[in-house]
């Protein structure tokens, strides 16, 4: 006996005997434990009949049960219908016009132990979680042959084997029923109406790609519901699409009223079945492309569940359209097909948009609204969509990358997702750049569409794409740049001279000053001491010129880039702070000099004594004759000296700006910059802990001023000093000891001071060290890329036109400056004249021209007028190059996808293809056998007629 699903071997289990006088019989050896049941000859694995089951086995007309046999429990007589000519030639080895006898086991049960197709369907229905229904009389959809079952005697050994197998099959069936009731299928028991045996067979055929059965049932059956669903709510179309049966899908799409077409499309897209997607899109339901432009949620709002998986909704997110899903799956061919059909991904509104649509979605379900935005951005950031939907994919990817990076700081719930998408856009740009094969293509990527850029008088590249890449931190682009060396050297040398002047300005005090703070030294007795100390030296005058030159350079940069873009660079902020402090220092010094000069003028006009030490002077004049130790703390000269010291430190720290030009110092400077960021993060926790203990210790010891061995913690200032230097081990434990016998206060002080040292020194400082090590390790792992990106940012600052001369030579007006001044004045006059000439035109035309004049008037570059006049009728050289590069990128992506290792899903697809091919071959075999039988019959008839004539 063979189990269901196993193939029975006719060569091992039975032999065919045939004689001229006796009907053909299939005789099985007596006592063979492998003797098949009668159904095994008609099972889907039978080599005699191929892959079709005779549905008439479930019919009650074929069973003739005599009362005697029912009472005695003996064999049952089976009378099959007549064997038709059309089925006799279906590859069966049985000869026409002969009786077929099949011997089978003698069962003791009052009914046959085998079951027909109806019983099999009933059992499968139990496994699918549905209730079996009495099947109507079935039609014959397969190739069948008639058989006759006769009683056969078997010995006791065979009987015991059969009984054991029957018990095992009964146990398995009962287990299957229990699993259907209590297993995973239990939750789906109430989904849909029960299936008939015909519908069950139809779904099986659609799932396994049995094209002949599907075609025959769709054409001939009058009672078939082709929209029937299984226990999971899937209809025949969904099963066929999920198993990649293109022919079955095409047969189903020809039927009017077919349901779940939209879900079938989404399923085909998710699995990458391009031909099935094309077949579904050719359906009239997608005529006009309206359904491709709306999401499943919008379809549901229109009471049209076109994309629904079942009555509960779609299998994907309700905001995912076909084009978004194809972009998520990186299916280039499908994205191209959908784009040609008119499908597009709409860019989400701004996050802070207050339109009625956004407000309603946010109020209804904020999380769903954010998820829909995320899904849309995933589609927009897909390499497949970027490459195929945009005329300038590089520009689109850079702008989208910047937008996603901005959203990562706004929508913190999806911060990592947005950062990943931003990096994905940058990788796309770098991937396109890697495919460049010559200098022309590289220049096209770096410069963008040069036909839209204003012409440069020096024939320099505009490098618009490189500027965007640096702005949006596409670090992998840094390795392809080269700088104008002389401009960089000129600015570097100029700044080095400026630093040298700062050193020379302090050189006269290297060995100390001549006078002490309590002494005054003057050039002559009538000279006011402060006049000598506030005069500007020649080095200070040169420093002031350098500062003015750098201020002018920064002003030009703010004018060209704009204030917002200017402050986005930290080095610009450092320069602004450094120059501001220099200006404040020199201003305070100048104020002190002017006041001292007034005092000197008063002495020259009103004092007659030769020695000012003996003269009687007003207080406001006498103050400027005092030594340094008597100056007020708010004296302008003291403030000037303090600000000057800070400015000098900032000036030398700016050396780090040019360090990335060197391969050795560049990575170190980057690590230092990252360390500074970590220190700022650490300062938040540090200040919180520090302030907490400072206020606590001050409240504890503020009442003991003068009652301690040192003034620690008695004032806020002393509390700050003690706790700060305690971090470096420069404070003593005696700071918490009192002269009085207040042990409770001392103990509290010991505890707080100890907890502070443990928290700050042991925990927070080690945390800071760990953060610094982590940052350095990140830089070290990718030091080459980080260094090249930093060097690219440095070089790019010297690519722009203007700011050619370094400070202080840029203070001298150049002929180029006069040329630009005249050019801008001319443009302004022309625009004003045009605006006056349009005053009497009609309102609509005037509005259009004025808006255009406004755009031109506020353009930041004189050459932008050239951009507006540029004709766009024919593809530019940039567009041709970009099209060529994108084609290479798509081909490379497809090759990489095909070269991946075969996964489990692809193996399943191969199995499904083999299954479909199997059914097709069986159909062709059946047709060929029928034609051969008909030909043999015709030849036999013709031969018989010739014999009769003879």
Q: Give the SS3 label for residue 310.
A: strand
pLDDT at 30 over 60: no
CA angle 689, 692, 695 (to 5 degrees): 145
Instruction: Give the pLDDT confidence of 591-606 residue by residue, as tens digits.
Output: 999 999 998 888 888 8
Tokens of 595: 């006041």
Report the alpha-carbon distance of residue 381 to residue 104 in Å, rounded.
67
Region of poorest pLDDT, from 177-181, 399-403, 473-477: 177-181
pLDDT of residue 368: 84
pLDDT of residue 71: 39
The CA dihedral of 392, 394, 397, 399, to the nearest 10 degrees, is -80
Burial 541-579 (b: 16+ CB within 10 A, else e): ebbbbbbbbbbebbeebeeebeeeebeebeebebbeebb
Per-residue three-class SS string for 903-934: CHHHHHHHHHHHHHHHHHHHHHHHHHHHHHHH
Region of poorest pLDDT, from 53-57, 657-661, 904-908: 53-57
Omega before residue 282 within 30° of 0, cis? no
533 or 132: which carries more pLDDT confidence? 533
pLDDT of residue 861: 39
Instruction: Give the pLDDT confidence of 166-208 residue by residue, as tens digits.
Output: 555 444 444 443 333 333 444 444 544 678 888 999 999 998 8
pLDDT of residue 286: 85
Instruction: Say what percent of the chain tops pLDDT 90.
Output: 18
Strand partners for 64: 77
Range 744-759 average pLDDT: 93
Range 706-712 average pLDDT: 87
Instruction: Work out the pLDDT band at 655, boundaries 50, 70, 90.
Output: confident
Instruction: Work out the pLDDT band at 68, boundaries 50, 70, 90.
Output: very low
Instruction: Give the pLDDT confidence of 337-389 residue by residue, as tens digits.
Output: 999 988 889 889 888 888 888 888 888 888 888 888 999 999 999 999 999 98
For the chain, what is the radius of gyration of the CA atoms?
46
Instruction: Give the pLDDT confidence of 842-852 residue by residue, as tens digits.
Output: 444 434 434 44
pLDDT at 890 over 50: yes
Range 569-598 average pLDDT: 92
Question: What residues contact 342, with CB distance under 8 A and at least 6 apart?
Answer: 289, 292, 293
pLDDT at 560 over 90: no
Instruction: Say what percent of the chain tops pLDDT 70.
Output: 66
Range 105-109 average pLDDT: 38
H-helix or E-strand spanning residue 25: strand 24-27
Region of poorest pLDDT, from 28-42, 127-141, 226-240, 432-446: 28-42
H-helix or E-strand spanning residue 802: none
The set of long-range contacts for 529-534, using a CB threshold of 8 Å and a minimum separation of 24, is 529/624, 529/625, 529/626, 529/627, 530/592, 530/595, 530/596, 530/599, 530/624, 530/625, 530/637, 531/593, 531/596, 531/597, 531/599, 531/600, 531/624, 533/596, 533/637, 534/589, 534/592, 534/593, 534/596, 534/637
pLDDT of residue 81: 43
Region of poorest pLDDT, from 449-463, 703-717, 798-812: 449-463
Instruction: Work out the pLDDT band at 612, boundaries 50, 70, 90.
Output: confident
Average pLDDT, the chain: 73
Range 698-717 average pLDDT: 90
**Do 688 and 737 touch, CB atoms closer than 8 A?**
no
Q: Which CATH number fits domain 197-442: 1.25.40.20, 1.10.30.50, 1.10.287.130, 3.40.190.10?
A: 1.25.40.20
Region of poorest pLDDT, from 590-604, 731-745, 896-910: 896-910
Instruction: Work out the pLDDT band at 818, boundaries 50, 70, 90.
Output: confident
H-helix or E-strand spanning residue 875: none
**Do 877 and 451 touch, CB atoms closer than 8 A?**
yes
Pairing of strands 15-17, 24-27: antiparallel
Starting at the edge strand that comes first in sequence, how are the strands of the sheet with 63-64 ordered?
A: 15-17, 24-27, 100-103, 148-150, 77-78, 63-64
Tokens of 190: 């109430």
pLDDT at 162 over 90: no
């Amino acid at each position: 006996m063979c189990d269901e699903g196993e193939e029975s071997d006719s060569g091992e289990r039975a032999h065919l005997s045939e004689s001229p006088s006796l009907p053909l019989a299939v005789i099985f050896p007596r006592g063979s434990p492998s003797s098949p049941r009668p159904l095994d000859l008609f099972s889907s694995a039978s080599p005699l009949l191929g892959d079709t089951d005779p549905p008439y086995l479930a019919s009650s007309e074929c069973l003739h049960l005599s009362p005697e046999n029912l009472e005695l429990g003996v064999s049952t007589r089976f009378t099959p219908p007549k064997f038709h000519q059309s089925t006799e030639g279906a590859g069966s080895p049985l000869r026409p016009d002969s009786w077929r006898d099949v011997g089978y086991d003698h069962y003791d049960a009052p009914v046959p132990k085998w079951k027909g197709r109806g019983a099999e369907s009933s059992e499968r229905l139990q496994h699918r979680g549905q209730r079996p229904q009495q099947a109507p009389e079935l039609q014959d959809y397969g190739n069948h042959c008639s058989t006759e079952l006769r009683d056969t005697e078997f010995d006791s050994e065979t009987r015991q084997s059969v009984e054991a197998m029957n018990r095992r099959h009964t146990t398995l069936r009962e287990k299957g029923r229990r699993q259907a009731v209590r297993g995973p299928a239990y939750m789906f028991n109430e989904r849909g109406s029960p299936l008939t045996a015909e519908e069950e067979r139809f779904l099986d055929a659609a799932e396994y790609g049995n094209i002949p059965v599907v075609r025959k049932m769709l054409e001939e059956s009058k009672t078939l519901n082709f929209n029937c669903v299984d226990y999971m709510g899937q209809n025949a179309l969904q099963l066929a699409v999920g198993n990649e049966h293109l022919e079955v899908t095409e047969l189903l799409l020809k039927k009017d009223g077919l349901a779940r077409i939209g879900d079938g499309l989404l399923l085909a897209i998710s699995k990458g079945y391009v031909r099935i997607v094309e077949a579904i899109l050719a359906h009239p339901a997608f005529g006009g492309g309206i359904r491709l432009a709306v999401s499943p949620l919008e379809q549901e709002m229109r009471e049209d569940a076109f994309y629904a998986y079942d009555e509960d909704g779609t299998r994907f997110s309700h905001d995912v359209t076909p084009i978004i899903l194809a972009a998520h799956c990186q299916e280039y061919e499908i994205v191209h097909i959908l784009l040609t059909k008119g499908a597009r991904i709409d860019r989400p509104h701004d996050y802070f948009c207050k339109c009625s649509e956004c407000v309603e979605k946010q109020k209804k379900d904020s999380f769903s609204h954010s998820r829909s935005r995320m899904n849309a951005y995933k589609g927009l950031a897909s390499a497949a969509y970027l490459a195929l939907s945009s005329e300038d994919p590089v520009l689109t990817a850079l702008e989208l990358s910047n937008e996603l990076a901005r959203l990562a700081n706004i929508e913190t719930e999806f911060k990592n997702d947005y950062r990943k998408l931003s990096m994905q856009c940058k990788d796309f740009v770098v991937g396109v750049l890697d495919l460049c094969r010559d200098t022309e293509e590289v220049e096209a990527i770096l410069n963008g569409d040069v036909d839209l850029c204003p012409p440069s008088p020096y024939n320099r590249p505009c490098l618009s794409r490189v500027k965007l890449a640096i702005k949006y931190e596409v670090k992998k682009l840094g390795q392809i740049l080269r700088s104008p060396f002389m401009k960089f050297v000129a600015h570097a040398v100029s700044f080095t001279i400026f630093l040298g002047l700062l050193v020379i300005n302090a050189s006269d005090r290297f060995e100390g000053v001549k006078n002490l703070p309590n002494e005054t030294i003057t050039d002559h007795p009538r000279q006011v001491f402060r006049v000598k100390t506030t005069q500007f030296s020649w080095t200070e005058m040169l420093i002031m010129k350098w500062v003015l030159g750098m201020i002018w350079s920064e002003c030009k940069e703010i004018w060209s880039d704009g204030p917002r873009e200017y402050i986005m660079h930290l080095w610009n902020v450092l320069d602004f702070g450094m120059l501001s402090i220099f200006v404040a220092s020199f201003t305070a010094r100048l104020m002190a000099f002017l006041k001292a000069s007034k005092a000197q003028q008063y002495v020259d006009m009103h004092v007659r004594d030769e020695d000012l030490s003996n003269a009687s002077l007003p207080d406001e004049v006498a103050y400027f004759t005092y030594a340094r130790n008597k100056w007020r703390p708010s004296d302008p000269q003291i403030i000037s000296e303090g600000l000057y010291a800070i400015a000098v430190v900032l000036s030398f720290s700016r050396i780090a700006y040019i360090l990335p030009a060197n391969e050795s110092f560049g990575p170190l400077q980057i690590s230092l910059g990252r360390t500074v960021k970590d220190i700022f993060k650490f300062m938040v926790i540090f200040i919180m802990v520090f302030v907490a203990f400072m206020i606590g210790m001050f409240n504890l010891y503020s009442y003991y001023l003068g009652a301690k061995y040192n003034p620690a913690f008695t004032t806020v200032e002393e509390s700050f000093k003690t706790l700060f230097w305690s971090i470096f081990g420069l404070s003593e434990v005696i700071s918490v000891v009192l002269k009085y016998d207040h042990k409770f206060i001392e103990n509290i002080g010991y505890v707080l001071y100890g907890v502070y040292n443990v928290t700050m020194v042991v925990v927070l400082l080690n945390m800071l060290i760990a953060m610094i090590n982590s940052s350095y390790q990140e830089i070290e792992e990718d030091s080459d890329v980080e260094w090249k990106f930093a060097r690219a940012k440095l070089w790019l600052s010297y690519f722009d036109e203007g700011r050619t001369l370094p400070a202080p030579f840029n203070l001298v007006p150049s002929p180029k400056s006069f040329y630009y001044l005249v050019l801008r004045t001319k443009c302004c006059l022309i625009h004003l004249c045009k605006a006056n000439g349009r005053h009497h035109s009609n309102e609509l035309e005037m509005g259009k021209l004025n808006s255009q004049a406004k755009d031109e008037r506020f353009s930041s570059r004189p050459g932008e007028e050239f951009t507006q006049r540029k004709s766009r009728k024919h593809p530019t050289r940039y567009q041709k190059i970009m099209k060529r590069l994108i084609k290479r990128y798509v081909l490379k992506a497809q090759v990489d996808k095909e070269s991946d290792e075969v996964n489990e899903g692809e193996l399943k697809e191969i199995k499904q293809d083999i299954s479909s091919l199997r059914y097709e071959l069986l159909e062709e075999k059946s047709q060929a056998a029928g034609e051969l039988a008909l030909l043999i019959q015709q030849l036999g008839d013709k031969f018989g007629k010739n014999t009769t004539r003879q």
